[in-house]
Structures are given as structure tokens and as C-alpha cells.
Amino acid sequence: ETGVTQSPTHLIKTRGQQVTLRCSSQSGHNTVSWYQQALGQGPQFIFQYYREEENGRGNFPPRFSGLQFPNYSSELNVNALELDDSALYLCASSFAGMTSVYNEQFFGPGTRLTVL
Amino acid sequence: QKEVEQDPGPLSVPEGAIVSLNCTYSNSAFQYFMWYRQYSRKGPELLMYTYSSGNKEDGRFTAQVDKSSKYISLFIRDSQPSDSATYLCATLRAGNTPLVFGKGTRLSVIA
């Protein structure tokens, strides 16, 4: 069973540029959540995709957008990069069924984005 | 006030010590409580989760939740240098809702 993978591992961009980060979910999972982890902080929820639809969003501006594909992989796009966007971006996949029972979220290794 | 508060440390202990890590939370709607371990330059990995109040033990690790005081704890017995990592507490309202994390506590276990 393949775990959650993310690409690229590292990325350096300049202010104002746009970036796309990619996540392949674990086999059998239908939900992907994206988190931003600034240095010395815990991960902060950006948004979640369930069956290709956005299913919840944290306190992030619209220049953070995403997609989920039919194979449940996902992209995170950030436009007009700012210095404060420098962080580790984590995706987590899980399987969400019809009930509200706990579904473990499995994290990928993250993409470290540096904005200069 | 942040929804989940966690002392970031750093915490340094000798090998074999008992480690106590703690978090408090403010929202009584949280039902699930997790501890994640994160090694440097890696994603978080789930150590343990508990539902509602009580204790849960897994080897050298014990998770404790007191919903009346909104307090979450993780105890590590016989700590090892390989336990050196950042420990993140997290909470969930329900099954498919987003995780709400504390800041993380950086732990170093010295041989």
C-alpha cells in the first residue's frame, strides 16, 4: 500500500509568483485535507476536498485554491505569493464514509515553500 | 484565545525519564483527541487517539483526556533518544472535520 506522497519536496519562489503543489492520496481514500505549517507552529487547516468538491475551508484568502481529481489526488494553488506564505504545506488523506466516526488522516512528508 | 494551547518548550530530558506533555482546549464540541509525532522535515504521524474522557495506553505511551477541565496529556515512560521529536496535540469535532492542532512541543531525550 502506497502512502501519501507530495511533490515537489522543496520550492523557492519570489513574491507575487504563483505555485502549484501536488498530493497523491493513499489508496482507498476519498478525502484530502491541506494544512499550512509555519516554522515553530502547528499545522493550520487550509481546506478539504471530498469526492472532488471543496468540503470546508479554514481562514485563508481566496488566492489559496485547490482541486481534487477523479483519482482523489489533489492540487493546492497559491497566487500572488507573499513572504508569509513561506511554510511547510502538508496534505493528509482519509476515507470518509457516511457516518461521523473518527477517520484517521494520514499525512504526507510535506512541501517546503520558501518565498523570497 | 487559540482553540488548542500547547507549551512549545523546548523540553530536554535524560534517557529513561518520564515525559509529560500537555495541552488545553477551549471548545467543548471537540470529541476526538490525538497526539502526533513529527520528526524534523517529516509529516506528522499519529501516535494515539482517544474519544471522550479517560486513559489509553500503547506500550510506553499513555494518553489522558479530562473533558471536565479540557485538558489533554501524553506520558512517555522510559524515554529514548529516538523519541526526540516535536509532539503535536490535535482535536476533532467529528469524523470528517478538520484537525485543530496545538503549536507542538519540541522534545529532546539525551543519552
Segment A21-34 shows an average pLDDT of 94
Least confident window among A71-75, A97-101, B29-33, B53-57: A97-101
Q: What pLDDT score was predicted for residue B61?
A: 97
Phi, psi of B81 (to 5 degrees): -55, -30
One-letter amino acid for residue A7 of the chain: S
- Does A99 score more than 70 pLDDT? no
Q: Is the CB of A107 less than 8 angstroms away from the CB of B4?
A: no
From the CA of B27, how many Å to the nearest CA of chain A? 16
From the CA of B25, how many Å to the nearest CA of chain A? 14
Q: Is the CB of A109 less than 8 angstroms away from the CB of B6?
A: no
Using CA atoms, how far residue A42 sits from A78, B102, B111, in Å, is 20, 6, 27
Cβ-Cβ contacts under 8 Å between A and B: the total is 71
Chain B residues whose CB is inside 8 A of the A103 CB are: 95-96
Q: Could you tell me the pLDDT band of residue B34, with boundaries at 50, 70 and 90? A: very high
One-letter amino acid for residue B77 of the chain: R
At a CB cut-off of 8 Å and minimum separation 6, what does A76 contact? A20, A21, A23, A34, A46, A64, A65, A66, A89, A91
One-letter amino acid for residue B110 of the chain: I
* Burial per residue of B60-91, b for 16 or more beta-carbon CB atoms within 10 angstroms, e otherwise: ebbbbbeeeebebbbbbeebeeebbbbbbbbb
For chain B, give the percent of residues with pLDDT over 90.
Answer: 77
Chain A residues whose CB is inside 8 A of the B32 CB are: 102
Q: Is the CB of A102 less than 8 angstroms away from the CB of B51?
A: yes
Pairing between strand A10-13 and A111-115?
parallel
- Does A1 score more than 60 pLDDT? no
Question: Residue A104 has what DSSP assignment?
Answer: P
- H/E stretch holding A90 reads strand A87-94
Chain A residues whose CB is inside 8 A of the B92 CB are: 102
Q: Which of B40, B87, B96, B97 to mutate to test the interface with A (most CBs of A within 10 A)?
A: B96
Q: Point out which residues pair with B103 in neighbouring strands.
A: none
Do the beta carbons of residue B3 and residue B101 sit within 8 Å?
no
Chain A residues whose CB is inside 8 A of the B45 CB are: 107
One-letter amino acid for residue A70 of the chain: P
Q: Is the CB of A44 less than 8 angstroms away from the CB of B94?
A: no
- Does B95 score more than 60 pLDDT? yes
- Does A104 score more than 90 pLDDT? no
For chain A, give the percent of residues with pLDDT over 70.
Answer: 96
Q: Is the CB of B104 less than 8 angstroms away from the CB of A41?
A: yes
